[in-house]
Structure 1
Amino acid sequence: MNVPLMLVDLAGSVALLLWGVRMVQTGVQRAFGPRLRAVLASALRTRLSAFFAGLGVTAVLQSSTATGLMVTGLAAGGVVELVPALAVMLGANVGTTLIVQALSFDVSRVAPALVALGFLMFRRGDATRTRDLGRVVIGLGLMLMALHQLLEIITPYETAPALRSVLDAISAEPLVAIVLAAALTWATHSSVAVVLLVMSLAAKGIASPEAAFVLVLGANLGTAINPVLEGATGDDPATRRLPLGNLLNRVLGCAMALVIVPYLAPLVMAVEPHAARAVADFHTAFNLALAVLFFPVLHPYAALLRRLLPARLDQADPSRPMYLDKAAIETPVVAIGAAAREALRLADVLEAMLQGVQDAFEQGDRKRIAETRRLDDVLDRLNEAIKVYVASLEAEAMTDADRRRVDQVLAFAMNIEHAGDVVDKNLAALASKRLKRGLAFSREGQAELSAMMGRLTANLRTAASVFVTEDPRAARLLAAEKEAFRDLEAAATQAHVARLREGLPETAETSALHLDVVRDLKRVNAHLVEAAAYPILQAQGELLPTRLRTED
């Protein structure tokens, strides 16, 4: 009896099972991800519709963890109320049992046919959705193959004293069994895979019905841990209400079920003598019982969660991302849209910085200078968050259009952040310098700077519009502003030289400061053009590789 070799084979089969589950999840999310999120968002009006939406979406995704992360992200952003969100989680917990029910029957013979069919769909399908559905079919085939292999591997060792001793110890210490199964489910992000593994052990008689039921309870508990750890972000306790509420009701359910399992196991086996089917039935019955128990009391339960986790009363940190939903990462087209929406916040922050600098030059307000410089830290943190979020997307899950849009989002965010650096380190510093030296622009000079800053603010809004619409016509208009600011700088330079010739030191110093401001405004405008206009024009083939004249 070669135990090390058996462990290697067992680990490989479990890995194949997990990979099959992941292929099903990612394939469905890529094919229907945006639509699934839309179904959830539109169904969260009543408790009943939310329950069935959670059940249906999870049955398709085959992951209550994925559904939990999506709904947690929606609830944390204030998009949905707590009561329907809790109803979604009750439905999701029931939905995840449906695939277990289907796979509890002996369907291993169709596994090779599923893999072959999925391969043909993936390789021969012209449409992206056909390829994604091919991935789903391959994943189902791999899951069935893995289950068949698990049974074959376990069969020669079903009478092994060591394995029997371990499982007998688990039966004697049900709390240890629950913790082990919960930890395994948390690590694999799949209660389906763990329950299927428990079914294999029960089918061969290696795990007693009582031990198998306890392990199933642990799997149900473990699947509620990931949304708690990954779904809620930030320091606001209100964002943790949904994942903690889901975890608490599963803890309560496991505690009650643990008491009756010794009495329930013989009854279940009397109704369903097939051990694997009995495990699947217990898994479904447990989640249905929890739904029946908690559904009528969702309103007072939500009120209790609000009291335990009150919302923060202080203002939200402006540097905290608002739209970077972690649950959307598995669906790149949705995640890229979230990153683009977050990038637009950078434009809003930069506009506030430009307004602050303009107020500092016009009113001489030192407080506005300090506020403007603090906003640059907001730009830096948001830009970093966007880059980290986009970097977490799987390259193989993106189309060419997705990759192009990612490049646009990164270009926009980085250039807006660089423009903020110019405002912080240059324009704000020049405003502070003017105040320290007591310099004053002429009425004409102040009016000119105010007009340029107003024009720059308008260009910033145009850049945001171009970034959203990707309209080549608007991109050309924005790109033309680069030449306009170049002309303004040339005119300011000529005026400065003329004042130097007049020999007036104070006028010359003020003129030099005026020229520095104009140059920095031109630099900010250049970043706006590079942020939004150039990526669009380059995609249209309207940008020249160099401004130098080529020799014939």
Structure 2
Amino acid sequence: MSGFDLLLKIAGGVALLLWATRMVRTGVLRAYGSQLRRFLGSATKNTLSSFGMGIGMAGILQSSTATALLAVAFAGKGLIAIGPALAVMLGADVGSTLVVQILSLDISWLSPVLILLGFVCFTTRPTMTLRHLGRVFIGLGLMLLSLKLVVAASEPMRDSVVLQNILSALSEAPLFAVILAALITWITHSSVAMVLLIMSLSVAGVVSADLALVLVLGTNVGAGIVPMALTMSETPTARRIPMGNMLFRFAGVLILLPMMEIVTPYVAELSGADVGRQVANFHTIFNIGLAIVFLPFVGVMSRLMERALPEGMGTEDDLKPKYLDESVINTPTVAVACATREVLRLADIVEEMLRKSISVFETNDPTLLQEVSKADDQVDELHEAIKLYLTQVSVSELDEDTSARCVELISFTTNLEHIGDIIDKNLLEIANTKIKKRIEFSEQGWTELVELHRMALDQMQLAMTVFVSGDVDIARQLIAGKEKFRNMEQRGGDKHLDRLREGRIESIESSALHIDMIRDLKRINSHLTSVAYPILDASGELRESRLRVRPHSEGRPAKANT
């Protein structure tokens, strides 16, 4: 077998391992993501419970990085303090080693069973949760299969003189070995996959036990770098967690690296002759040791990180509110005015999302699609901040008008957030399908969609005017626009059906996308017009019911059958 074929097989096995790890993580998050986030928020009241939660989260997700990102998200919103979040990270480091421990056992026979079980769960689709669990089972089966492939492909490398010389040089330069392993872990974004790869190469006799343990230290450094790199754009508060965890890992490696000649024999004595077991055990022992040594110092590290990354550091974060002044909360009238400015800022962002969304369909530009989708993160952040701010304002004793205005602000903000979600999760998904499948709308169909979109933008402008002014006439105009939109939608639907009956290819291919796009624009219009109803209701402009009253309907006896 040539060297190229050998490297190709190993690279294929590693790629399968990385993909399988991602499948498991994605399946778990889609099946139980909301529950995991809720548990993380409720079990971080003290250091020990946070540590335990970190172990459980990383064990389930098979990734300390995924756990880190969840902790960072909570810290960024002020839902978890830095100290408990660092404890979560120490627990996650231990939890990710449990996955390695399980996969280090000789359970390769489970691979076809798990893949078959996952296939059945994924294809039969009795429930969405079971479908996602099917993805998890397939991922686990592929992980076991990939490890077997890597071991089998690596065995011929034992006889390579060139490789032996390279590995010998690495053994004599442990610091360089640590840096190399850290770099590879950062590139692959998976410490679990990296440790399993080291274990497979050591089982195949390619890597010696001494070098394998040093590479595990490097993997732990790389595992600390990954969440740091992924959170560089976050707020200073959020970035304190991965940086503190990185310092814990780095300190542990610095302490242990000079002592590896002493440590290695003890690991071999504890684990026996099985080199793979030595790698798995050392990885677990190292992270448990980190937790024991540094768990009492999470408070000290938290204060150190506050000094290293103060809140004012860096550029202004656009995700944060600009006008919600905490100092005027006890003055409700002024606070409501501040909230109104922030809501208008939120409305401008949503309007820009809506405006750009049609350009995504027109240009088929995936970069623009990502840009519009990213804006929804800002919408969600501002929506949450405005709600919390107005909740604090409502604690004070409010007069009737101010209380009603708070309700209107929360209602309009919620509708804007829903519109952002519709654009991000529905309209952009339709656009993504159009781009991927290279579908084109018919000329007439596209013209109708553009007109509906333009009408939705006009309604957006009216809704913002009604929100600010409370003008009854403009509110009536907004409701009339809803009726006009409905008529346009019905005419467009009828024309689309006519084109389908005529057998037009473009209309047939784009029919599902066309109908879904109309539906989503209609939903956006409904959310926009809701701002007018409280104003019209207060002025007596609304009927109690839209149902037509039937004359003589009350008390009329039913006709007897004849």
Classify the TM-score, shorter chain. 0.5 to 0.7
Distance 1:76 1:450, change over 3 A: closer
User: Secondary structure of 1:105's match?
Assistant: coil
Per-residue CA shift, 1:197-237, capped at 9, x if unaligned? 10011112221222101111111111122221222535x43
Report the counterpart of residue 455 of structure 1 in structure 2: 471
Report the counterpart of residue 524 of structure 2 in structure 1: 531
Per-residue CA shift, 1:392-446, capped at 9, x if unaligned? 9xxxxxxxxx9898237999xx9999579969xxx9xxxxxxxxxxxxxxxxxxx
Q: Distance in 1 between matches of 2:78 and 2:105?
A: 42
Alpha-carbon deviation of 1:77? 2.3
Alpha-carbon deviation of 1:480? 2.7
Report the counterpart of residue 206 of structure 2 in structure 1: 206
Match of 2:425 among 393, 399, 406: 406
Report the counterpart of residue 492 of structure 2 in structure 1: none
Distance 1:377 1:456, change over 3 A: farther
The 8 Å contact of residues 54 and 88 in structure 2, kept in 1 or not, is answered as: yes
Report the counterpart of residue 150 of structure 2 in structure 1: 150
Alignment of 1:273-292 (within 5 A): 273-292=273-292
The 8 Å contact of residues 482 and 525 in structure 2, kept in 1 or not, is answered as: no
Q: Distance in 2 between matches of 1:478 and 1:175?
A: 72
Amino acid at match of 1:239: A
The 8 Å contact of residues 479 and 533 in structure 1, kept in 2 or not, is answered as: no
Alpha-carbon deviation of 1:271? 2.2
* Between 300-309 and 380-389, the greater mean CA deviation after superposition: 380-389
Gaps of 5+ in 1: 323-346, 355-374, 393-401, 428-448, 460-476, 487-527, 538-552
Match of 2:374 among 389, 394, 410: 389
Amino acid at match of 1:531: I
Distance 1:535 1:421, change over 3 A: closer
Distance 1:247 1:529, change over 3 A: same
Report the counterpart of residue 260 of structure 1 in structure 2: 259
Amino acid at match of 1:203: V
Q: Distance in 1 between matches of 2:121 and 2:292?
A: 41
Report the counterpart of residue 239 of structure 2 in structure 1: 240
Report the counterpart of residue 30 of structure 1 in structure 2: 30
Q: Distance in 2 between matches of 1:8 and 1:450?
A: 64
Amino acid at match of 1:116: L
Report the counterpart of residue 216 of structure 2 in structure 1: 216
User: Secondary structure of 2:470's match?
Assistant: helix
The 8 Å contact of residues 350 and 416 in structure 1, kept in 2 or not, is answered as: no
The 8 Å contact of residues 198 and 212 in structure 1, kept in 2 or not, is answered as: yes
Distance 1:485 1:86, change over 3 A: same
Per-residue CA shift, 1:62-98, capped at 9, x if unaligned? 0001111111121122221001000000000000000
The 8 Å contact of residues 415 and 531 in structure 1, kept in 2 or not, is answered as: no
The 8 Å contact of residues 379 and 420 in structure 1, kept in 2 or not, is answered as: no
Q: Distance in 2 between matches of 1:154 and 1:74?
A: 42
The 8 Å contact of residues 182 and 220 in structure 2, kept in 1 or not, is answered as: yes
User: Secondary structure of 2:471's match?
Assistant: helix
Alignment of 1:504-523 (within 5 A): none
Report the counterpart of residue 112 of structure 1 in structure 2: 112
Matched, 1:296 2:296: yes
Distance 1:301 1:88, change over 3 A: same
Alignment of 1:68-467 (within 5 A): 68-234=68-234, 236-272=235-271, 273-312=273-312, 319-320=318-319, 352=344, 380=352, 387-389=372-374, 406-407=425-426, 453-455=469-471
Report the counterpart of residue 44 of structure 2 in structure 1: 44
Amino acid at match of 2:138: I
Q: Distance in 2 between matches of 1:348 and 1:150?
A: 60
* Between 156-165 and 8-17, the greater mean CA deviation after superposition: 156-165
Q: Distance in 1 between matches of 2:73 and 2:160?
A: 46
Q: Distance in 2 between matches of 1:420 and 1:230?
A: 39
Q: Distance in 2 between matches of 1:408 and 1:10?
A: 41
Alpha-carbon deviation of 1:31? 0.6
Distance 1:532 1:253, change over 3 A: farther
Alpha-carbon deviation of 1:353? 7.1
Q: Distance in 1 between matches of 2:353 and 2:467?
A: 31
Amino acid at match of 1:47: T
Per-residue CA shift, 1:210-265, capped at 9, x if unaligned? 2101111111111122221222535x433321111111111111111211112111
Distance 1:403 1:192, change over 3 A: farther
Per-residue CA shift, 1:125-156, capped at 9, x if unaligned? 31011111111111111111111111111112
Q: Distance in 1 between matches of 2:207 and 2:251?
A: 25
Q: Which has the higher contact order (CA 8 A, sep 6+)?
A: 1
Distance 1:138 1:417, change over 3 A: same
Amino acid at match of 1:53: M
Amino acid at match of 1:387: V
The 8 Å contact of residues 72 and 232 in structure 1, kept in 2 or not, is answered as: no
Q: Distance in 2 between matches of 1:291 and 1:416?
A: 59
The 8 Å contact of residues 122 and 131 in structure 2, kept in 1 or not, is answered as: yes
Q: Distance in 2 between matches of 1:170 and 1:12?
A: 24
Distance 1:11 1:353, change over 3 A: closer
Report how many aligned residue pairs link the two structures: 399
User: Secondary structure of 1:256's match?
Assistant: helix
Per-residue CA shift, 1:147-176, capped at 9, x if unaligned? 111111111221211121121111111122
Amino acid at match of 1:388: S
Alpha-carbon deviation of 1:455? 3.3
Q: Distance in 1 between matches of 2:214 and 2:183?
A: 14
TM-score (norm 2): 0.63
TM-score (norm 1): 0.64
Distance 1:353 1:405, change over 3 A: closer
The 8 Å contact of residues 119 and 138 in structure 1, kept in 2 or not, is answered as: yes
Distance 1:315 1:252, change over 3 A: closer
Identity %: 38
The 8 Å contact of residues 48 and 87 in structure 2, kept in 1 or not, is answered as: yes
The 8 Å contact of residues 376 and 424 in structure 2, kept in 1 or not, is answered as: no
The 8 Å contact of residues 118 and 134 in structure 1, kept in 2 or not, is answered as: yes
Distance 1:13 1:403, change over 3 A: farther
Q: Distance in 1 between matches of 2:259 and 2:57?
A: 31
The 8 Å contact of residues 90 and 290 in structure 1, kept in 2 or not, is answered as: yes
Q: Distance in 2 between matches of 1:192 and 1:276?
A: 14
Per-residue CA shift, 1:440-476, capped at 9, x if unaligned? xxxxxxxxx99992138996xxxxxxxxxxxxxxxxx
The 8 Å contact of residues 456 and 525 in structure 2, kept in 1 or not, is answered as: no
Report the counterpart of residue 18 of structure 1 in structure 2: 18
Distance 1:280 1:417, change over 3 A: farther
The 8 Å contact of residues 75 and 237 in structure 2, kept in 1 or not, is answered as: no
Q: Distance in 1 between matches of 2:15 and 2:22?
A: 10
